[in-house]
Amino acid sequence: MLNKINFLFVTFFGIGKIKKIPGSVASLVTTLFLFFLFHFLNVSPNIILISIIIIFFISIYAINIFIKDLDNKDPKEIVIDEFIGQSIPICLYEIAHEGLKETNQVLTFYFIMFILFRIFDIVKPFPVSYYDKNFKNSFGVIMDDVCAGLYVVAVFVLYMVITS
């Protein structure tokens, strides 16, 4: 029973078992899920940020259990790291732009954040590549996506500085 729950957690409810591009699908589902939470249910970005931090720590433990007997320490079916990495820029965007926003503008920024996150997660610029290559454990699995998410944040901060 606990193994099944752990499997559902690290595969983001089975999304990781999708044969083609499970990481991209998990990132897209995360983007849509967060849009729903923020713009339909009006959940506070601070609550979501705290939840993401909790999920980060639970993930370190859960992924360790999942990969314990595997040769590949970063199997493609683990996509909870995509959830965490994709959530970082979206949540910080919502915190920085709290209040009423036009839906078209929000959807545009969410789409750009999704695309940028996938690019950084696939291309793996330093330090994303550092965590991916040097930490063959749950910390490395998660941190490369955290770094990719932080790159998206950096791009948006640079964009806001340039356009203001």
The label of the residue with tokens 């920085």 reads 96
Q: pLDDT at position 71, please? A: 82
Contact 132, 124 (CB under 8 A): yes
- Predicted confidence at residue 26, as pLDDT, reads 98
CA-angle at 39, arms to 78 and 107, nearest 5°: 75
pLDDT at 107: 96
CA separation (Å) from 146 to 4, 43, 87?
25, 22, 9
pLDDT of residue 164: 84
Taking the chain (164 residues) in consecutive chunks of 10 residues, what is each chunk's mean pLDDT?
94 96 98 97 96 98 92 89 98 89 93 98 92 89 96 95 91
Contact criterion met (CB below 8 Å) for 29 and 35: no
Output the pLDDT for position 101. Answer: 81
pLDDT score for 89 = 98
What is the C-alpha to C-alpha distance for residues 48 and 132, in angstroms, rounded to an integer? 26
Question: What pLDDT score was predicted for residue 163?
Answer: 92
The alpha carbon of 24 is separated from its chain's Cα centroid by a whole number of angstroms, namely: 10
